[in-house]
Structure 1
Amino acid sequence: MVDAFDWGLLEPAGADAAVVADDRILHAMIELERAHLVAWGGLLGVETTSTLDADLLDREALLRESRQAGVPVVGLAQALRQQGGTLVHQGMTSQDVLDTALMVVSRDALVGARTRLGEAGRRFAALVREHRPTPFAVRTLMQEAETTTLGAVLSGWLDAITSALEVLDAVEFPLQLGGAVGDGEAFARLSGDPDAVAKLRRRIAAAVGLTDPGRAWHTDRSPVLAVTRAAASVCTAGGRIGRDLGLLARDEVVTPLHGGGSSAMPHKKNPVDAVLLVANGLRVSGPLAVVQTASLSYDARPAGEWHAEWQAWRECLRLGAESAALLAHAAEDLVVHIRRAHVDPAKPPRATATVDAALARFERAVEGGDR
């Protein structure tokens, strides 16, 4: 029995990131191997079975092989060949499998994050409309500055969400398929078809729901950077809103309906969503920096850079998925307490243009993504 190293004890919002768990990555690797087996068999004119079952794997053995080879795919391919025959994994390399699996998981995580961001944005948009005329004294450099409207303040949150949505919508999730050194020659040699890798890439990409990039990107890590930066943009939006939520909760302007408790002060209702959103916004810079640094690749596969990327890539996705879920929950859990602000009767705050622009921009982003 494999003991779980990380079951969420120090990750309070971890349940919202199950989409990037080890089991999901394992299933994504098998999904790729299955799609490759079917496509490869079709290209060779050989009958194959698409039945590759994760439940039949010996996970203890898989971990041992992973430690031995330094990558989990070697042992996985050996085990799957016992189920599906010698054509399993033929022509591919470990990087094809792991990069593609992480792209599948990235797609699922970020599509889910986009849905939750949309939910949060719709709730904030309703509050923006409701509090469009509500006077509110804002601060700059921690000091009270001028009176605007609460709707204008909330429209800033909506803008942050819209920015994250736009980044997410620009991301593509490409298949990785290039063979040992990225040139795809093994597929051509084994099949006798000089266009084998292009044909396989199209078929496999369609099967696993990724885009066909028309190339291998083994040492061009721009697709990974795009995905992780998109996840980080969700964390940034969440952290920015979380800071405001925490400060407004301190002033009892906006508070959570269901706050968190304290082990020493039972009277407290802590703004837990706000705290965790800020924490994730602070944490994401670390793994993002690892991905950025590791992108300075070399040779056909670098010694260490690619390996450093795996957990950092997954951590960015994990934090992005958590932050999107936290935002959606925080938006639904808000209670606004109207407080009087000093207003010059001759100059009532309006901020109409700011509010209208934020609402229109959000609606365009949501509608564009929904289509």
Structure 2
Amino acid sequence: MAEPFDWGLLEPAGAVGVPAADDHVLAAMIAVEEALVGVWDELDGSSAGPGYEPLGFDAAAIDPARLAAGAREAGVPVIALVEQLRAQAGAHAGRVHRGATSQDIVDSALVLVSRESLSRARDALAAAAAELAERAVRSRATPLLARTLTQEAEPTTLGASLASWLDAVVSAREVVDRLDFPVQLGGAVGTGAAFARLASRADAPQALRAGLASRLGLSDPGRSWHTDRGPVLAIADAAARVAAVAGRIGRDLGLAARDGVLLPATGGGSSAMPHKHNPVDAVLLTANGLRAPGLLATVHTAALSYDARPAGEWHAEWQAWRGLLRVAVESAEVLAHAVADLVVADVTTSAASSSDAADLASAGAVVDAAVARYRAHAEPDREAH
């Protein structure tokens, strides 16, 4: 058994990023291979024959050390994985990975991992939004002196500040909601020629792709997108958006803790100064927000593909893609905890004394509008349940 490269020592919120961990990626790759066997069985009619038994794989029997060694040798993990899956299949080894290429498996698997990761992030954003909406209403008329360029500016309310966070969270969740999660199946150079040849059917590439999408719960894009990384860019952008929104709120939380306005109820020790109560959630949110742009830049740079599969660009994408999913899940879940953990301290008397009815009314209108947008967005979820 290979030792895990990263088990969270320097990733304080790493436990919640599990949906993007190696084991989940491996499980997704196996799921794609298993589903591909199933759609081939449907296409050639064997699944309708007497005594048919679907071919299944045991993920626990896969040797990760062999996979890692195979990935180093071949540059991709799929070849070593297929060898082990064919060994499990025994006499049915020929049914495994028919006509597919490594990119079909890795891309489809990472899309599956993306769907799981961003679904979890979406749920956490929903929890954060619900908490922010409640707190914004509760603090609708609590005076606060806003700052611009770090300096005291004009009176506002705590409710209006929380409402701005709420709008950003709802916006990020809308971006995630609009995502498409397409299957990838194109064969060696994206034409699906091997599928047509093996099935002796010109429509085999389309039929297999549609069947694979259906079995995996992904969309059928109607094409191969092996060199058009648009679907990856959309997923990566959405993940980075989650991290950016949470990071911006983290920055505000850190400054509010410094000013004694919003304080965390729990956590925050110091090894050198035991009296300190650090805003740890704010720090983690800010850190993830700072990490995401570099990862996103790698994904965008790698999108400048060429040929039917580039030498290095596609490979550079894997960890950056997965890293964005990780920071998105971490950020969303830490954010949900952070806003629920807030303690509102006494605001400055200068803010209260400088506020007038017009200031409070304007700030209150901001709260009302943000909460209305939140409720309109949340309503479909309530109806679905």
TM-score with structure 2 length normalisation? Answer: 0.94
Deviation at 1:366, TM superposition (A): 2.4
What does residue range 60-209 of structure 1 map to in structure 2 within 5 Å? 60-84=65-89, 85-209=93-217
* Residue in structure 1 matched with residue 63 of structure 2 by the alignment: 58
Q: Is the 2:100–2:185 Cα contact (8 Å) retained in structure 1?
A: yes
CA distance in 1, matches of 2:280, 2:311: 41
Kindly indicate whether the alpha-carbon contact (under 8 Å) linking 1:25 and 1:102 is maintained by their aligned counterparts in 2.
yes
User: Would the alpha carbon gap of residues 64 and 347 (structure 1) be closer, same or farther in structure 2, given more than 3 Å must change?
Assistant: closer
CA distance in 1, matches of 2:182, 2:355: 56
CA separation in 2, counterparts of 1:335 and 1:4? 38
Write the mapping of 1:242-261 to structure 2, written as runs, cut at 5 A.
Answer: 242-261=250-269
Q: Deviation per CA, 1:142-189: give whole Å up to 9, x if none.
A: 111111111111101001101101110111100000111101111111
Using the TM superposition, name which of 335-344 and 32-41 deviates more.
335-344
Output the CA distance in 2 between the equivalents of 1:172 and 1:250.
41
RMSD over aligned Cα, in angstroms?
1.3
Number of residue pairs aligned between Structure 1 and Structure 2: 371
SS in 2 for 1:147: strand
Offset of residue 268 of structure 1: 1.0
Q: Confirm whether residue 361 of structure 1 aligns to residue 365 of structure 2.
A: no
How many Å separate the matches in 1 of 2:358 and 2:21?
Answer: 55
Note if 1:291 corresponds to 2:299.
yes
Q: Is the 8 A contact 1:239 1:280 kept in 2?
A: yes
| 1:307 and 2:307 are equivalent in the alignment | no
Q: In 2 relative to 1, CA 197–345 (structure 1 residues): closer, same or farther, beyond 3 Å? A: closer
**Is 1:24 matched with 2:36?**
no
Pick closer, same or farther for the CA change 1:345–1:262 going to 2, 3 Å. same
Cα separation, 1, equivalents of 2:318 and 2:22: 11
Percent sequence identity over aligned pairs: 56
Residue 344 of structure 1: CA displacement?
4.7
AA matched with 1:83: Q
**Cα offset for 1:290?**
0.4
Counterpart of 1:188 in structure 2: which amino acid?
A
Code of the aligned partner of 1:66: A
Gap regions ≥5 residues in structure 2: 47-51
Change (3 A) 1:82 1:136: same
By how many angstroms is 1:94 displaced?
0.2
Contact 2:44–2:199, Cα closer than 8 Å, also in 1: yes
Q: State the partner residue of 2:49.
A: none
Counterpart amino acid of residue 79 in structure 1: Q
Show CA shifts across 1:212-269 (max 9, x none). 1111100000000000100000001101100110000011110000031000111111
- Comparing 359-368 with 274-283, which one deviates more in the overlay? 359-368
Separation of aligned partners in 2, 1:346 and 1:58: 69
- Partner of 1:352 in structure 2? 364
Contact 2:172–2:242 (Cα < 8 Å) also in 1: yes
SS of residue in 2 equivalent to 1:145? strand
- In 2, Cα distance between equivalents of 1:17 and 1:333: 21
For 2:95, what is the secondary structure of its paired residue?
Answer: coil
On the 8 A contact 1:37/1:48 being kept in 2, the answer is no
2-side partners of 1:176 and 1:17: how far apart? 24
Aligned-partner Cα distance in 2 for 1:173–1:313 = 14
Give the counterpart letter for 1:7 in structure 2: W
Contact 1:117 1:324 in 2 (8 A): yes
Alignment of 1:319-334 (within 5 A): 319-334=327-342
Aligned residues of 2:155 and 2:355 also touching (Cα < 8 A): no
1:56 CA drift (Å): 1.4
Residues 41 and 48 in structure 1, CA contact (< 8 A), matched pair in contact too? no
C-alpha distance 355-189 of structure 1, shift in aligned 2 (>3 A):
same
Partner of 1:41: 41
Q: Provide the TM-score with structure 1 as the length reference.
A: 0.97
- CA distance in 1 between counterparts of 2:346 and 2:205 reads 63
Give the aligned residue type for 2:222: G
